[in-house]
Amino acid sequence: MLEKLKIINLAIIDSLEVDFSNSFNVLTGESGSGKTVLYKSITYLFGQRFKKGDLRKGENKCIISGEICIGDRKYSIKRIFTKNNTKNFINDEAVKLNEYSNFLAKSWESYGQHEQQLLIDETNHLGYLDLFSKTEILYQEYLIEYENYLKIDNEIKILQKELDDFIDNKELYEFQYKELNQIDIKDDEDIELKESISEIKKNKDVYEKIYKLSNLNESHSDTFVIINSSIDLLNDLDSNKPGSNNLKIRLNEYVNELNDIKFEASKLLQEFYYNQNEYDEMNRRLVKINELKRKYGGTIPSLIAYSNKLKLLIENSDNADSLIEQKIKNKNKIKIKLNDLGLQLYKKRKDGSLNLILKIKDFLAAMGMPDIDFVVSLGLFEMNKFALEECCFYITTNKGEDLKSLGRVASGGELSRIMMAIKLSINLNTNNKLYLLDEIDAGLSGKEADSIGAIIKSLSLNNQVICITHLPQIASKTNNHYKLFKEVINGRTYCKYIKLDKSSRINELAKMVSGKDITLESIDFAKGILDKNG
- pLDDT tens figures, 105-147: 889 988 876 677 778 888 888 988 998 888 989 999 999 999 9
The model's pLDDT over 373-400, given as tens digits with 9 standing for 90+, comes to: 889 998 888 889 888 888 998 988 778 7
- Residue 371 identity: D
CA distances from 68 to 22, 24, 44, 325, 376 (A): 10, 16, 14, 57, 37
Stretch 344-368: mean pLDDT, rounded?
90
Question: Per mean pLDDT, which range of 69-83, 332-346, 401-415 is the poorest?
Answer: 401-415
| pLDDT interval class at 219 (50, 70, 90) | very low
Burial (CB < 10 A; 0-12, 13-18, 19+), residue 458, is middle
| pLDDT interval class at 410 (50, 70, 90) | low
For position 534, what pLDDT does the model report? 65
Which of 319, 306, 317, 300 shows the shortest CA–CA distance to 177? 306
| Beta-ladder partners of 111 | 437
d(CA 371, CA 368): 9
For position 38, what pLDDT does the model report? 94
Provide the residue count of the chain. Answer: 534
For position 17, what pLDDT does the model report? 94
| pLDDT interval class at 369 (50, 70, 90) | confident
Q: Is there a contact between 47 and 7 (Cβ–Cβ < 8 Å)?
A: no
For position 141, what pLDDT does the model report? 94
Kindly give, in sequence order, each residue whose CB lies less than 8 Å from that of residue 392, ignoring residues fewer than 6 positions away. Answer: 122, 125, 376, 377, 405
For position 301, what pLDDT does the model report? 84
Stretch 164-169: mean pLDDT, rounded?
85
| Beta-ladder partners of 412 | none
Q: What mean pLDDT is reported for the chain?
A: 85
Q: Is there a contact between 480 and 21 (Cβ–Cβ < 8 Å)?
A: yes
Mode of pairing for the β-strands spanning 434-438 and 108-111: parallel
* Kind and range of the H or E run holding 294: helix 276-295
| pLDDT interval class at 62 (50, 70, 90) | very high
CA distances from 514 to 28, 382, 485, 530 (A): 15, 56, 18, 16
Q: Where are the beta strands (DSSP E) in 82-221?
A: 86-90, 93-95, 108-111
Which of 38, 68, 57 shows the shortest CA–CA distance to 434? 68
Q: Is there a contact between 195 and 286 (Cβ–Cβ < 8 Å)?
A: no
CA distances from 513 to 116, 472, 509 (A): 26, 7, 6
For position 145, what pLDDT does the model report? 95
